[in-house]
Structure 1
Amino acid sequence: MTSPAVIAHRGFAGVAPENTVGAALAATEREETAMLEVDVQPAACGTPVVIHDERLEGTGDRDGHALTDASGLVWETPLEELRRTRVLGTDETVPTLAEFLEAVPETVGVNVELKTPGTTDLRFAESLPAAERDERRDVWAPFVDRVCETCADFDGELLFSSFCEGALAALREIDSRYAAAALVWDDLEAGLEVAERYDCEAIHPPRNAIAGTALAGTEYAGFGSAEPAVDVLERARAEGRAVNVWTVTDWRQYRDLAAAGVDGIIADYPGLGSFSSES
């Protein structure tokens, strides 16, 4: 069985307040952590901040818990107000990307997910027709430029990912030295097309999109109960791309995906590889 790289989803969101400096520091203390995965979007002034939901009061997959003690759209909220918010009832606040990177040791990589440039019109998880690509790239370009500028002084490994083709197009135009990954939702062919179009170093499918595993055919992330029609691992290997799978929540999922040979596992919890070997 391979030993995939462990990527701490939002800083191991299952055991720490997600996307915070405190979560990042706790995750980096674990020997298994190869990389942190975080979400970025702009504050009202355009400064990149580390937060997942578009709205500060978002509940998402948190069992009804509000993400912060504030409300409103992140990109309409002044930076100083964001800095005063508290995440999931803790003393941790919403950090700027610069503050986050400054706190992270450069021995641990960072997967920066480009979440939104400050709009709800995202063309989420689509492979765009040629006539629309330049427009979507231009929507993302000012924010991606700010993100790249912020990351310039970080000497650790950086990987940029997004569900949005426009974000990857902007990244390739602004600074092609950075590694990129196409995030997949409910359409494997679309994800593979986008990864090929921008010569992405990686592709990030959901955990149930790896053919031949116990997870394949289970409902998750827009996929139904049918076995995946595309062998994304085989295709990615043939094209020289890494496959990092999201989001793994228990050791059985980890074991099955590791046995399948994925390169990285984006996990909510640490220690999932401890019991991953077949008995």
Structure 2
Amino acid sequence: MKPITRRPRAVLAVLAASTTFVALTTAPTALAEPLAADSGAVQAVQAAQAEPAAGLTESFDGPDLPPGWKPVEGAWKVQNGRLVGTSVTAGQQSRITFGTPLIDYRIESRVRFESALDGARWVAFGLDLAPSGAVPWSIATLRNGSTATNGLEFAQRTTSNTWNVTDTAAAPIQVGVGMEVTVAVEVRGSRATWYVDGRESLRTSMVNRTAGGAQAFLVNGATVSFDDLKVTPLGKESFIRKPGTPLRVWAHRGGSSASPENTAASDEVARRARAEWIENDVQPTKDDVPVILHDDTVDRTTDGTGAVRSLTAAQVGALDAGSWFAPAFAGQRVPTLASQLDGLKTRGGNLLLEVKGAHTRDSVARIVSEVRSRGMSSRVFVQSFEPQHLRWMHELAPELPLGLLRSTLDPDPVAIAKDLELSAYNPSDAALSARPGAIAELHAAGVAVNVWTVDDAARWDALEKAGVDGVITNRPAELAGWNAAFLQRAKPKVLTPAADAKVDRAQALRIAVSDASAQITLDGNPVENGAPVDTTTLTAGRHEIRVGDTVSAFEIVATPTGLASLILTSGASQAAVSTMTTLLGQRQYAVLATYASTPAAAGLSAVRRQQIVAEARALR
């Protein structure tokens, strides 16, 4: 990609003068606990996955906790076909561990707050916990007050037993006590994505991974029940954007609009901007050490002169790579690939590595060696303008995803993508604009499209609408903010219950929409925004919420919890309630249906009797 020409700006000099960036002129200092496992940790997990990884499915149908589940703190039990976890105070981090170490996986469950001390209390998926439950942890949290600005979080419990919250967002729906919601997190190495009710809601690139870390549930200041847990190992990643999700952020040479490109400082800017991938260029020195530099010479971005390949690594490493951008960046160095990978490993982030200029097979092999020796294969994506570089890379490291850079489109982009076994085809914005139909052709072949180098919000909007998967940009913070606004725009009119939600009789149902002044109907009858709806007055099956032209449906379904609520609030005689709850606990649904239909079940109204019989029969 073309060299970036810009003049240092006073405002950037002021920003750069902060102690954060001054500190980066020397060895990086830790902002928090390490954000990624060391090479031994990752290699241990990779070894554990040498055989096909096993997933986990659990519906909690037995009377006891499943084998291998380890309660660490708080109260955990199986009750009425659900796992129930309780934390009695805001300071108690109740947790239960399960599963096996996995690098790339999806964890999903139906979750319901049964009670909570307040809206700030939370439930979490443990993404990487020792089976003993000891720190450090990496977790994804959902608050009872889910639409607060921190309703969703990715967070770490550090080795010093303190919190490091890395990412926050509001959930797309209000959860609250009594509402069941399906939540999921997809984890790929140090990256993870939160899904609430099937909608992407938050991303992170800051998951701390450890050797032997498994999965867990955590509860804080609440009682939460879980059902239908699925932990599924993920195969090779597709970089094609899912419908309704934002553009992937690739930070061009780091945060290069606010710091000197391809340096530790620009990496830090990109990391804090929440770029999923940090793009850097790599080429060898005279003594074959791979260094992070874009140009053929060191003239533009350092205080030295000469071709990179005519200088030794020591000579390149002694140059000032920051003063050209702003005085406050004086002392920034040209990183070696090794130091770049070490920085990402300890501070967080993933590397889009462009193999720049002419390389031999041996120099490509040296790059592979640097990546593998640090256990960073799951966090590196390689791209190049040169097909031969990518052929060597695939031969030497078939696990690494590959992207082909193009200034003009190939006559047949799909053919070359298949030939090179690409994960992505990465054209310039101008090249793609001349032939936007190539996006659909590449997607049909399973190949993502990432466009370079685009810094304008109007173009981001056009590219998102065209179906592009990601943008390589000098302005990662701005694109991340644009993405946040994109997710806000994509929020549904009907916030709760979610579209196609399954609601049982025990849930406290409220109809809530995003427009406070909207006219709302439930099955054609007007309802007040946010008003509670008694689920016992609704028939089993489908119900429609209408807000203007928007229609959202949910379903009243039979569950053991819902049936228990019908019985306990039925007004039946004490003897009848005792008999029915005993039969329910024993899962004798057919006997319960028969009993409830007889006069022995004294005190039941005709409507409630009919509901109990119908739901018991549905559960048979």
Structure 2 length-normalised TM: 0.36
1:28–1:104 Cα contact (<8 Å) kept: no
What is the aligned partner in structure 2 of residue 86 from structure 1?
A: 320
Aligned partner of 2:290 in structure 1 is 48
1:252 aligns to 2:458 (yes or no): yes
Aligned to 1:113: 354
Give the letter aligned to residue 409 of structure 2: D
Contact persistence 1:25–1:103 (CA under 8 A):
no
Letter in 2 for 1:54: D
| Counterpart code for 1:207 | D
Equivalent residues of 2:302, 2:322 under 8 A apart: yes
**Matched-pair contact (CA < 8 Å) for 2:286–2:313:** yes
Tell me the equivalent position of 1:70.
Answer: 304
Structure 1 residues 157 and 7, CA, compared in 2 at 3 Å: closer, same or farther? same
Indicate if the aligned counterparts of 1:209 and 1:232 stay in contact, CA closer than 8 A: no
- Look at both structures and tell me which one has the larger radius of gyration over its CA atoms: 2
User: How far apart, CA to CA, are the structure 2 residues paired with 1:190 and 1:88?
Assistant: 41
The alpha carbon displacement at 1:163 in A equals 0.2
Q: 1:154 to 1:265 in 2, by over 3 A?
A: farther
Q: C-alpha displacement at 1:172, in angstroms? A: 1.5
2:375 & 2:419 partners in 1: Cα distance?
27
1:202 aligns with 2:424: yes
TM alignment of 1:83-162, pairs within 5 A? 83-89=317-323, 90-105=330-345, 107-117=348-358, 140-152=360-372, 153-155=374-376, 156-162=378-384
**Residue type of the alignment partner of 1:144:** V
C-alpha distance in structure 2 between counterparts of 1:275 and 1:26, whole Å? 17
Spell out, residue by residue over 1:43-81, the C-alpha distance to the aligned partner (whole angstroms, 9 max, x if none).
111111000001111xxxxxxxx2211111101101111
User: Shift in Å at residue 115 of structure 1?
Assistant: 0.4
Q: In 2, are the aligned partners of 1:42 and 1:117 still within 8 Å (CA)? A: no
Letter in 2 for 1:20: T
Deviation at 1:240, TM superposition (A): 0.1
> Is 1:101–1:154's contact at 8 Å kept on the other side of the alignment?
no
Contact 1:4 1:265 in 2 (8 A): yes
1:187 corresponding residue in structure 2: 409
Helix, strand or coil at the partner of 1:7: strand
Residues 164 and 190 (structure 1 numbering): CA distance in 2 closer, same or farther, change over 3 Å?
farther
What is the letter of the counterpart of residue 189 of structure 1? P
AA aligned opposite 1:256 = A
Classify the secondary structure of the residue corresponding to 1:248.
coil
Q: Distance in 1 between matches of 2:309 and 2:412?
A: 28
- The Cα RMSD (Å) is 2.0
Deviating more after overlay: 170-179 vs 186-195: 186-195
The CA deviation at 1:201 is 0.9
Alignment of 1:204-243 (within 5 A): 204-210=426-432, 216=433, 227-228=434-435, 231-243=437-449
* CA distances 1:240-273 after superposition (whole Å, capped 9, x unpaired): 0111111011222222112222111111012135
Letter paired with 1:169:
R
Q: Take 1:238 and 1:83, find their aligned partners in 2: how far apart are those partners?
A: 45
Q: Which secondary structure does the structure 2 equivalent of 1:197 belong to? A: helix
Stretches of structure 1 that go unaligned for 5 or more consecutive residues are: 58-65, 119-139, 211-215, 217-226
Structure 2: runs of 5 or more not aligned: 1-243, 324-329, 490-620
- Which amino acid in 1 is paired with 2:458? R
Contact 2:355 2:383 in 1 (8 A): yes
Instruction: Name the counterpart of 2:468.
Output: 262
2:263 matches 1:20: yes
Contact 2:414 2:445 in 1 (8 A): no
Is 2:478 the counterpart of 1:271?
Answer: yes
Bigger CA drift: 199-208 or 152-161?
A: 152-161
Say if 2:322 and 2:333, in contact at 8 Å, map to a contact too: no
Aligned residues: 233
Q: Which letter does structure 2 place at the counterpart of 1:98?
A: A
Say which is worse superposed, 266-275 or 13-22, in terms of deviation: 266-275
The amino acid across from 1:170 in the alignment is W
Measure, in 1, the Cα distance between the counterparts of 2:345 and 2:375.
9
- For residues 264 and 480 of structure 2, the distance between their equivalents in structure 1, rounded to whole angstroms, comes to 24
Q: CA deviation at 1:194?
A: 2.9
Asked if the contact 1:12/1:23 (under 8 Å) is kept, the reply is: yes
Distance 1:190 1:20 in 2: 36
3-state DSSP class of the match of 1:92?
coil
State percent identity of aligned pairs: 26
Partner amino acid for 1:157?
Answer: R
Q: Distance in 1 between matches of 2:481 and 2:333?
A: 31
- Distance change in 2, residues 1:34/1:112 (3 Å): same
How far the C-alpha of 1:108 sits from its partner, in A, is 2.3
